[in-house]
Amino acid sequence: MTDITDFDCDYENKWCPGCGNFNILAAMKEALAGMKLSPENVLIVSGIGQAGKTPHFLKCNFFHGLHGRALPVATGAKLANHKLTVLVSSGDGDCYGEGGNHFLAAVRRNIDITLLTHDNKVYGLTKGQSSPTSDMGFVTKMQRSGVISEPFNPLSVALSLGAGFVARGFSGEKAHLAGLIRAAVSHKGFSLVNILQPCVSFNHLNTNGWYKKRVVKVAETGHDPADWNTAMHLSREWGDRIPIGIFFQKQGPSFTDRIAHLNEGPLVERTYDSAAVQAMLNGI
C-alpha cells in the first residue's frame, strides 16, 4: 500500500466547506493507495463542474477537459495507451446531461476505465439549476415550478446498455465507497460508480441526513452481483430505501482487448517504422 498522503496535493481546494466531494476525494485516495498505485501511474480525466475539479485536488496526471466530454478524452487516451489506469471524475450534469451520448457509447464499448459520477442531483458550479438526476418537482431558481422530467437513472440505463460493472456509492459512507472504487478500478472493462453526494449549497432536498436514513448496502442484503434481474430491480428502488454497493458485475473482454493490433502492446510504444511505411506506400 502506498501512502494515502502520497496523493495529497497542495493546490488550494475550491469546494464549499461541508461538500460531499471531500469524502469522495478521500475515498479515491484511499482506494488508489490501497491498490498500490502511485500518482505517476494514474491518469484522471474530468469534465467541467465541481466534480470536474477533482484531479486538481489529488496528485496525479490529469486532463481536465470540457463540460460533458471527459469520457471520449479518456477513451482516446486509453486507446493510445491501454496500459494506463484511467479514472474519470464527472458530475451528474457533466455525465448524464451534456455528456449523455458519451456515457451511452462508453458503456457499449466496455472500455476499461472507471467512471466516478459525483451525483449531487444539481448543477453545482453554475449555481444550482436542476440536473438530469434531480427528482421530479425539485425547485431551483431556474426550475421555478419544479422539475417536470423523469429523473435519469444511471444504474438502470447502464444495466440496460449491458454494463459489466454497475455500482452506487454514497459520499457519507467513505470506507464503503473506497471499496467500490477499488473494485471498479480492478474490474477489467468499463465500470460505473455513481456516487450520491450532498451539495450543501444548492441541494437542500437530498442532504447528508436524508441519505443517511435511507442507504442500504446491497452486500448486506445478500445480493448476488451476478444477478442482472435483481440488479435492475434494485436500481429502480428510490425513496425510503436507497441501495448502495455493487449492483452488477460481469467480466468480459474490454474494448482494447478486442482490437487485435493492441495485443502487441500500446500504440504509444510503437516507434515509427519507415521501411514498413514505405512498403505500404509501394503497395498502393
Ligand X SMILES: Cc1ncc(C[n+]2csc(CCOP(=O)(O)OP(=O)(O)O)c2C)c(N)n1
By CB under 8 A, name the one of 7, 62, 211, 248 that touches other proteins. 62
Q: Please, which of residues 41-70 interact with its own copies by CB under 8 A? A: none
Binding letters toward ligand X, positions 55-94, x by CB under 6 A: ------------x-----------------------xxxx
- Asked if residue 150 binds its own copies (CB under 8 A), the reply is yes
- Asked if residue 149 binds its own copies (CB under 8 A), the reply is yes
By CB under 8 A, name the one of 4, 6, 22, 64 that touches other proteins. 64
- Asked if residue 55 binds other proteins (CB under 8 A), the reply is yes
Q: C-alpha grid cell for residue 63?
A: 486532463
Q: Are 15 and 21 in contact (CB under 8 A)?
A: yes
Q: How far apart are the C-alpha atoms of 64 and 220, rounded to whole Å?
A: 37
Residue whose CB is less far from Mg ion, 85 or 131 = 131
Give the residue among 99, 108, 1, 118 at the shortest CA–CA distance from 54. 118
Q: Are 158 and 110 in contact (CB under 8 A)?
A: no
Three-class SS of 66-113: CCCCHHHHHHHHHHHCCCCEEEEEEEHHHHHHHCHHHHHHHHHHCCCC
Residue whose CB is less far from other proteins, 226 or 268 = 268
Radius of gyration of the chain measured on its C-alpha atoms: 19
- Within 13 Å, how many C-alpha atoms sit on residue 65's CB side? 22
Residue whose CB is less far from ligand X, 136 or 226 = 136
- Asked if residue 272 binds other proteins (CB under 8 A), the reply is yes
Q: Please, which of residues 73-132 interact with other proteins by CB under 8 A? A: 73-81, 83-85, 97-98, 100-102, 104-105, 123-127, 129-130, 132
Residue whose CB is less far from other proteins, 4 or 104 = 104
By CB under 8 A, name the one of 41, 156, 207, 208 that touches other proteins. 41
Residue with cell 465507497: 177
By CB under 6 A, name the one of 23, 50, 140, 254 that touches ligand X. 50
Q: Using CB distances below 5 to 8 A depending on partner kind, what does residue 112 bind out of its own copies, ligand X, ligand SF4, none?
A: none
Q: How far apart are the C-alpha atoms of 188 and 110, rounded to whole Å?
A: 9
Q: How far apart are the C-alpha atoms of 91 and 48, rounded to whole Å?
A: 8
- Footprint of ligand X (CB under 6 A): 48-51, 67, 91-94, 98, 118, 120, 122-126, 131
